[in-house]
Structure 1
Amino acid sequence: MPEFSPTEYAVPLFVVAVLAEMIWAKFRAPESYEPKDTLVSLAFGLGSTVAGALLGGFALFVFIAAYEHRVFDFGEQWWSVWWAWPLCFVLDDLKYYWVHRAGHRIRWMWASHVNHHSSQHYNLSTALRQSWTGAFTFGLMFALPLILLGFHPVMIAICGGFNLIYQFWIHTEAIGRMPRWFEAVMNTPSHHRVHHATNPRYLDRNYAGVFIIWDKMFGTFEPEREDEQIRYGIIKQLGSFNLLWAVFHEWIGMLSDIWRAPWKHKLSYLLREPGWSHDGSRDTSDMIRDRWRSRVAEQPPTKPVAARNPIERPGEAA
């Protein structure tokens, strides 16, 4: 089978789409783009490509070795088994849901994934904030079940490439909501804005890649509300446009915590959820959400209030 990388073919479309959104933002939502922030996002994208080229060989070695122990065999011409492609795509998206969820719930993986959430702006350039350090986590292990089932590593890589391409367009505020039937099944800009929010009700929700049904099945779905303005970024914002700090700040924080922690807690700072601390001095997303729910429960009911400074989106009233 000839080598094929769908993301390479999509790069020109990414560039055109970012430029088009910049033009839209200039007239409709100028606050959605910040030049320094956009440059950092572009540098993230370039760096992740280089890191993938340098470090991807290890994952390929593991996958090829695992493929030798596959349970099912699609034959030497596995690429011509038509029904295996859609099946692989769906299963790979399910795999993505769980690796993405782990990326938010295990600090070792969050140290890499936090890069994608570090911008306080939400636009198509944000989609390019891909990690440089993913090879240093165990995220690749989530793909091993697919390989052992008989899906060739190249097939999984191609399906993963199309998954990544799909996720590009949902990083925008230029689109309000898609038709109801589409919103019910697919991941959309509305669903993914929730995922990038720091609002307590939205924390650690909507992990989906392509199909939002996984979040609905596993209890992590939260719809976007019109009466609450979304705040983007991370709980403790970077406060800097320094690229290296943006890439490595959580690794530095995690290793620092491990170094200072008592021996019996060191592993917990690696494997527990972000924000966990052995002395209770910090907040996890669950703690923040629970505290917010308690405040809401104590407040008397009020009439819905429109979000402050709402962004006018095509097809919606201003």
Structure 2
Amino acid sequence: MPDFPNIILYAIPFFIIAMLLELYVTLKQGLKTYETKDAFASISMGLGNVFLGFLSKALVLLLFFFVYDNFRLFTIPINAWAFVLLFFLDDFSYYWFHRISHECRLFWASHVVHHSSQHYNLSTALRQTWSGGFYTFIFWLWLPLLGFHPAMILLQMSISLLYQFWIHTEAIDKMPKWFEAIFNTPSHHRVHHGSNPIYLDRNHAGILIIWDKLFGTFQPELKSVPLNYGLVKNIETYNPIKIAFLEWWYMLKDGFSGKKSASDRIKYLFKPPGWRHDGTGKISNDLRQEWLDAQNTSNSHETKN
């Protein structure tokens, strides 16, 4: 078992210093990005994620080792080239985990936590799920099957999580063009946290924005469309317990109350957020298309006038 450090724990002092620095910079810029109750709610969610992470990571490590020891196709050595390859494969896995977490309500139930703040700052990066670690690992199960050592995989997953901390800020407008073209940046990730119809379910990248460009989910930040952060329907609470589990309650209530077919009950677990069995719901694609149609109609009227 390689003796890799728990880099998330070592990074906690850095998180605190970075948040204080961001607060100072944004105040100097005249931006009010922090709200006390919201920030403490985010930090509480982050602490809960760290504590529960000891249990969930132990479970994940056991399952990764079970696959690695019994079913691996190759034995990939622990060296530099293997980490380079793993960097891309892990980031590819993260993209699909993140995208499905927006397109399947079962995964959204845990991921919604991260989008529940109506503010965008470094404390928002700490607003992490308490439940997702126990089942979202399935998107990475193919890596020990290929032959990557489980400890390597967990280390690379932690590196990806650390990278994504710094992009949760309004203090940085744009990075150099070459960087914006390849990597996930504050600008790209602000889009991801936007609740405006044009921004919904876009820019799912972890480290590399190239996956969104390849698979058709990229959306640049538009100066003409100022960002509204949060959810389409915000939950309006700072209670960590509610933040962690409210969507689970809503999902189960939608699926298992009232008169519905067995098929429709199951669909509430796997259809996108906003879907309803009676056709009254609107998913993000519907909201985006309505917005685009309204923009086209408006532009058409302006052209005629």
TM over 0.5: yes
Q: Please give the residue correspondences for 1:210-221 in structure 2 after superposition, counting only pairs within 5 Å.
A: 210-221=207-218
Aligned to 1:4: 5
- Residue 212 of structure 1 aligns with an amino acid whose one-letter code is I
Output the CA distance in 1 between the equivalents of 2:140 and 2:250. 28
* Residue-pair matches, total: 298
Shift of 1:30: 4.4
Shift of 1:232: 0.2
Q: Please give the residue correspondences for 1:161-172 in structure 2 after superposition, counting only pairs within 5 Å.
A: 161-172=158-169
Q: Please give the residue correspondences for 1:17-28 in structure 2 after superposition, counting only pairs within 5 Å.
A: 17-28=18-29
Q: Please give the residue correspondences for 1:134-149 in structure 2 after superposition, counting only pairs within 5 Å.
A: 134-137=132-135, 139-149=136-146
Q: Please give the residue correspondences for 1:233-272 in structure 2 after superposition, counting only pairs within 5 Å.
A: 233-261=230-258, 262=260, 263-272=262-271
Aligned to 1:194: 191
Output the CA distance in 1 between the equivalents of 2:4 and 2:186. 31
Aligned to 1:309: none
Aligned to 1:284: 283
Output the CA distance in 2 between the equivalents of 1:171 and 1:46. 18
* 1:186-230 CA-partner distances (Å, limit 9, x unpaired): 000000000000111110000000000000000000001112110
8 Å Cα contact 2:4/2:155 also seen in 1: no
Output the CA distance in 2 between the equivalents of 1:274 and 1:136. 21
Distance 1:273 1:231, change over 3 A: same
Aligned to 2:74: 72
Q: Percent identity?
A: 46
Q: Which runs of 5+ in 1 are unaligned?
A: 304-318
Shift of 1:125: 0.4
Please tell me whether residue 33 in structure 1 is matched to residue 34 in structure 2: yes
TM-score, structure 2 as length reference: 0.94
* 1:131-184 CA-partner distances (Å, limit 9, x unpaired): 0001343x2111111111111111011111111111000000000000000000
Aligned to 2:112: 114
Output the CA distance in 2 between the equivalents of 1:227 and 1:133. 37
* 1:96-128 CA-partner distances (Å, limit 9, x unpaired): 000000110010000000000000000000000
8 Å Cα contact 2:72/2:146 also seen in 1: yes
- Residue 292 of structure 1 aligns with an amino acid whose one-letter code is W
Q: Which runs of 5+ in 2 are unaligned?
A: none
* 1:72-114 CA-partner distances (Å, limit 9, x unpaired): 113xxx33x2210111011101100000001100100000000
- Which has the higher mean CA deviation after the structures are superposed, 242-251 or 118-127? 242-251
8 Å Cα contact 2:191/2:219 also seen in 1: yes
TM-score, structure 1 as length reference: 0.91
